[in-house]
Amino acid sequence: MSTPADAPTAHAPASDDPTADDPLARERSHLAASRSALRAMREDVESLDIRDVTANWVNAEVLARQIEDRIKALADLSGTPLFFGRLDYLHAPGADRAEGAGGERPRPEAAYQTLHIGRRHVHDADGDPMVIDWRAPVSQPFYRASKKDPMDVGLRRRFGYTGGDLSAYEDEHLSDPAEAAATSKLLQQEIERPRVGPMRDIVATIQPEQDEIVRSGLTGTVCVQGGPGTGKTAVGLHRVAYLLYAHRERLARTGTLVIGPNKSFLHYIEQVLPALGELTVRQATVDDLVAHVEVRGADEAAAAVVKGDARMAQVLRRAVYAHVTMPAEPVVVVRGSRRWRVPAYELEEIVRELLDRGIRYGAAREALPQRIAHAVLVQMERAGEAPDDRVQDAVARNAAVKAAVKAIWPPVDPAKLVLRLLTDAEFLAAHAEGVLTEEERATILWDRPVRSVKAARWSAADAVLIDEATDLVERTHSLGHVVLDEAQDLSPMQYRAVGRRCTTGSATVLGDLAQGTTPWATRTWQEALAHLGKGEGVIEELTAGFRVPTDVIAYASRLLPHIAPDLTPVASVRENPGFFEVRTSESDADVVAACAELLRHEGSTGLIAADARVPALAGALTAAGLTYLSPGQETTAETRLTLVPASLAKGLEYDYVVLDEPRAVVDGEPDERTGLRRLYVSLTRAVSGLIVTHTTPLPAQLT
Ligand SMILES: Nc1ncnc2c1ncn2[C@@H]1O[C@H](COP(=O)(O)OP(=O)(O)OP(=O)(O)O)[C@@H](O)[C@H]1O
């Protein structure tokens, strides 16, 4: 590795001879010893005999599964070294920083001054640490310490590796005033490493501003605005891994969820958390969360906008509670020779009290018979009887009480309710009065009657309405933490659907206002947080770009004044200037030729095109004998080309990109601003090189 004068001291192996003076050889032997220690830890677990300690087979099953998970977690991934960094503290760090501090298993590593930082904790036979988990408080200076604030660290060492082996190291003497601060060569190499296969973790090179977000506390919601390639997705995933470490028991109980825009995106990111040892995090799209009905239809944009508007929540609430009818008749309960009468005014008091309590419609409906029975019991006591709980239960189940409850507080089926709102103009008008305009109501009404919930051609936005109605009837289960990626595309009603899945937990919201391509795209993060029910959330901005080369991001940023004028353009931290060319093409064969040209380089290539252009380009690729994948299919050494419809490009990246016909990408959207945003997304997928090909003139905003 070359060592420019102002770079941290970087070293490559002098020879294969592990002499005592060769620091890399010493580190390699520490790596070998750590591997054996990890093997011993695994063997310890594997040799556990649970036959004597479990009383029954159920316990035995549970324990066996726990042991199996532990063995999996202790696996040594051959492709990555057990540690990627080292910290030499000037003084032994205090116990407050020990691995596990803030977490649940304090360990004694605080007594050690030299610590190797890796993906997981490894200890030797005496329990002494050999590798410290990157998430431990004591590891934090690896990501945050600087010349300005060395955090009591004398030496920070970063390792370069090839496969699972250490191949280089780089030292920074943070407390040495004579050594100039400089950017890390190993970080540069890591950023520039070709992309093949699914998304990788960035645990060895998390940057200080990213680390602040990763390690922010479990109780607060964080919203990250960041341009393309600033590491939002990476940061969100590492934050989940961090929270699972710091609050393992609590989150194991409450659960964590990562939400992404579509299946191919989720597939692209699905390896990151398992590589960090976290196997339990669920992934879903918003559509998956609200899948109460089968979605077979699609809305016109205008209808989807109204259905996604937060005012629909008010319409639904009114429609649900309109089912409650104030009692006009008394309830008369006959028991033995006696009749007990709860007058209508008293029933009304009970109903009003339940309405005021703000509990769910369904919960109140369940409480109502007991309340009526209680009123009967009070009368019995007044009459000198001594009824107990069993009597109250019996009264609650009495036919007269049941009939009254059915009349006052009937069951509501959320899907049927939404169906009625969308098909019954009078019903909709009654509940949308003063909330939706007549025109808005007409926009969402279906033009044909529908026989049943099953027969309806529900749209994605309808499913969200059903989810809202379901939550009015029955409280949605809340998780401990939710990561919401590509959030800018959610409608207010979708934010609400996500928000009710973390009412008692917190969220990490990730997005870029400039990449919003839905008609209801988020305008401000404050608004988004309010819809999510997390108005107190903190908004952070990331502006350093790790993906897109300088020339390419500068070109794409020409669109910013037209699509999101208030945002800061991304500043690429890549030193490699990359490759950028705009070409006129005569035919699809020229586009295919550009792909073939880029495929001569190492790594993945994406051909991004307007959705309408995809079939023609697919034909041209096949005619030229070039095999290609669809987004979400994993690139392999044999097939490194993916044909990407512009509508699916969000969140993905390729080493090289051919962007076909920008004009067609813009024209593929209902309005120009959305079109330009789609183009901005498509232009910012390349890591090392971009060729833009066009037959029709480029959009004026680019020239
Ligand atoms: N600290 C880092 N070290 C190395 N690579 C990084 C770092 N941060 C981000 N990257 C890499 O930069 C690329 C872009 O990251 P990511 O996809 O998380 O960005 P994003 O902000 O979500 O982008 P988009 O807005 O396009 O969805 C990824 O390959 C990621 O691994």
Q: What is the residue with the minimal CA distance to atom 1 of ligand 1?
A: 206
What ipTM goes with this model? 0.99
Q: What is the residue with the minimal CA distance to atom 30 of ligand 1?
A: 231
Is beta strand 83-89 parallel, antiparallel or unpaired with respect to 481-484? unpaired
Q: Helix, strand or coil for residue 486? A: coil
Q: Reply yes or no on whether the pLDDT at 412 is more than 90.
A: yes
Say whether 255 counts as a known binding-site residue: no
Of 186, 546, 684, the residue with max ligand 1 atoms within 8 A of its CB, to mutate for a pocket test, comes to 546
Whether residue 682 has its Cβ less than 6 Å from ligand 1: no
Which of 447, 547, 656 minimizes the C-alpha distance to 202?
547
Q: How confident is the model at residue 702 (pLDDT cuts 50, 70, 90)?
A: very high
Say whether 330 counts as a known binding-site residue: no
Average pLDDT over residues 343-364: 96
Average pLDDT, rounded, for the chain: 90
Q: Reply yes or no on whether the pLDDT at 152 is more than 80.
A: yes
Q: How confident is the model at residue 103 (pLDDT cuts 50, 70, 90)?
A: very low
Domains and CATH numbers, the chain: 9-192 (no CATH), 331-408 (no CATH), 550-702 (3.40.50.300)
- What does the pLDDT look like over 391-411, one tens digit per residue? 999 999 999 999 999 999 999
Whether residue 547 has its Cβ less than 6 Å from ligand 1: yes
Give the tokens for residue 128. 């002494």
Say whether 343 counts as a known binding-site residue: no
CA dihedral for 20, 23, 25, 30, sign (positive or negative): positive
Whether residue 261 has its Cβ less than 6 Å from ligand 1: no
**Which are the contacts of 125, defined by CB distance < 8 A and separation ≥ 6?**
37, 40
Q: How confident is the model at residue 690, as a pLDDT? A: 97
Whether residue 548 has its Cβ less than 6 Å from ligand 1: no
Q: Reply yes or no on whether the pLDDT at 196 is more than 90.
A: no
**CA pair distance 155, 149, nearest whole angstrom:** 13
Say whether 263 counts as a known binding-site residue: no
Distance 1 CA to ligand 1 centre (A): 24
Q: How confident is the model at residue 276, as a pLDDT? A: 86
Say whether 227 counts as a known binding-site residue: yes
Q: Reply yes or no on whether the pLDDT at 669 is more than 80.
A: yes
Q: What is the residue with the minimal CA distance to atom 29 of ligand 1?
A: 547
Distance 208 CA to ligand 1 centre (A): 14
pTM, rounded to two decimals: 0.89
**CA pair distance 409, 87, nearest whole angstrom:** 65
Structure-model confidence comparison of residues 469 and 205, the more confident one: 469
Distance 233 CA to ligand 1 centre (A): 7
